[in-house]
Structure 1
Amino acid sequence: MTDAPETDIERPAREVDAQDPVLCDARPPWRRALTPNVLRLGLVSFFADVSSEMLYPLMPLFLTVTLGAPASVVGVIEGAAEAIASLLKTVSGRIADKTGRRTELVFGGYSLSALAKPLIALAPSWPLVLVARLLDRTGKGFRGAPRDAILADSADSAVCGAAFGWHRAMDTMGAVVGPLLALGLLVLLGGDLRKVILLAAIPGVIGAFLVLTVSDPGRRRKKAANAIQGEDARPMPNSLGACGAETPSQKVRERVRWSAVPRSFKLYLSAWLPFVLVNSSDVFLILRAKQLGFSTTAVVIVYTFYNLVYALASVPLGHLSDRLGRRPVLVGGMVVFAAVYAGFSLATHTWHVVALFAVYGLYMAATDGVGKAFAVDLVPRELRGTSIGLLGTLTGVATLAASSIAGILWDAVGPRAPFVFGAVGALVSAILFAYIPGLRRPSVPETA
């Protein structure tokens, strides 16, 4: 009787090591994570976020002072803009999965956002600002899911967390540079908001054109698979450089639909929901800071400090998730969020706010990139765009609800109430992530 051929698991470790480029790679994990694609996508997000964050602290002032819009209009514009961005994330993810044109969607999304900013600068009244903001956030909605899917395919699974951490770090560095650049330009231009907003388009255009330097590993892999003929054709192995789960069968490759999404990812969404339903807009943190005595300039500085901590901690915590697992780092981040929100409810001095904003940066670093890396661990490669888009839509829509609830609690109960509510909800999600069995060991079940 002839023995069956050895599998990779049954072969001696030295033979597997000799054939596996991932195991043979002696570079440190952070260096393996920074593939050319990951580096380029990080630069794209850096320039795009510089552009967006130059506007963030100026939009309320531009609308209310320059255009004379009431404060309620500011809320309507920002709420509508974030809603459309959230709702489009799943749409763009599905389009990317079905057409395979992920790079085109990313380029189009960044380009649309960049071109919308001059419209804001030239707007004679707030309705045109609303149109421009909707175009801006439409671009964000279309680019997010396919960009993250390309990112997930651009680093091997052992360093996926570090890759997402790098991307979030560059994105957040843009959020640090943007407001500071806007403040500097305001001084140089004598407070001319229109000129500053117009100049904000420049880094956005740079980011859009940098997308043209990004290659799509999924497209290359599909071409390679199509070139293979006969019975030997099979899915490309995960060791060739993709984060997350390996495709269990060719059948999954051919059929992209919701029924193919693994149960573990649905459990992930269930555990994630309580958290995003209490994770309101950061505007409430800013309002709390102002209530405790911060000037507008001081608020911008402390918010920039938070973004700096977030940027510096993203890669180390992403790497930690590669070593310890996504779940413990994500759960730890939610516990930190609960502690920060509890702290904001009890804060009485300005130094409390500075310390809390710094720790809040650690929470963001432990949940944002790591949460996405955890999500892509749970789904086959062909469903990444759809799954990341669904996660983004759920998060965005729930955040709108969370902000509405927080506003009601602020007015009806008091400024402390939204933070107590947020702390409790975060602890609920942390417990669910810690104890739901299907989330303890991410896997992709066979699809029938």
Structure 2
Amino acid sequence: MKYLNELGARSKTAATVLNTLGVTRKNEGLKAAAEALLANEAKLLTANEQDIAKAVENGMAESLIDRLRLNHDRIKGMAKGLLDLVDLNDPVGEVISMNTRPNGLVIGQKRVPIGVIGIIYESRPNVTADAFGLCFKTGNAVILRGGSDALHSNTAIVAVIRKALKQVGLTEDALQLIEDTSRETAKEMMQLNQYIDLLIPRGGAGLIRTVIENSTIPVIETGTGNCHVYVDEAADFEMALNIIDNAKTQRLGVCNACESLVVHSKIAEEFLPLIYERLTEKQIIFRADERALAICDKMEPAKEEDYGKEYLDRFISLKIVDTIEEAIAHINYYNTKHSESIITKDYDHAMKFLNEIDAAAVYVNASTRFTDGGEFGFGAEIGISTQKLHARGPMGLTALTSTKYIIFGNGQIR
């Protein structure tokens, strides 16, 4: 606990410094960090190779190794994410409202940093750079705790960024990494409310549940993604095939991948053989209900648990429904409130789906893979919030600020 208290105290001190930084200095830090990532590519790849070798040795699934892997393009992407933040407006200091009361008091509300943000995450080393960038741009210090499977990669990335900050005269304690990846230390971090103002878990359902159950720090729940695509009776088949293919197969191990397919019974007999052929070409395995099996008997039978599962693998569940109401009810029951899509040419069905689906992102005729801070124009993202308080959906810069009231008077007393 002494180790964490020292990190927390240093982060708290750094946060008071970051709170006073103007946008020019913050952008200097982001540019320096981006340049350092590119200049140290060989060092980062060497560290990542150690993590990959260990993952292979431990029999990690192919889709999860893909999440863990760094390469030239992904390091370029990390650097670009930081540079994209440079071009975005700094929300800190924005005055949201300003009103004059009858007694002459002028009461305004402005955006301010949250303070110290803690992030517990799994596998993906790019989160290390993204989390730093978003927190730094919004004047927040950040304490990271990654998984043991990415320890070498995360340690290397943090060392490179901290050195870059120091070289341009900025506090390196804006970014700190907990290098002890034991569960005990993770739980101790969840109790560090005297230093950490907000805790964000990024990872699987088990991690998120553990944080919610054990944290004494306010938590923003980021999402596991049991994302659905509903193929309506009025769907364009070619569009549906392309969207489902993209949503499921572009990257298997991501939270916005399509894990569940819902198809209207009126088109099922014609559409199912088409989507089966399209996805099985890419080694996707269907787990389907009895009605679907009667049409396409090469699919595997689905169990109840399949309809609510985030596979992050080469599986997809399939449910046949008779009405859009049944589709919406099925999705709302089994989804994780992440991202859902309808494929339809029927305007009324599209609007009904948009209005009645309970999720952070709801699409009409588009892939769920777009639920991403970069795709939404936020630069990087700190995570996809599936809760309903403070922030929901991809969390960009604004989601990492709080507000305070500012009041101007000229001698008023109550």
Question: TM-score, normalising length from structure 2?
Answer: 0.26
Which of 1 and 2 has higher RCO (CA within 8 Å, sep 6+)?
A: 1
Considering fraction of residues, name the structure with more helix: 1
Q: TM-score, normalised by structure 1?
A: 0.24
Higher relative strand content: 2
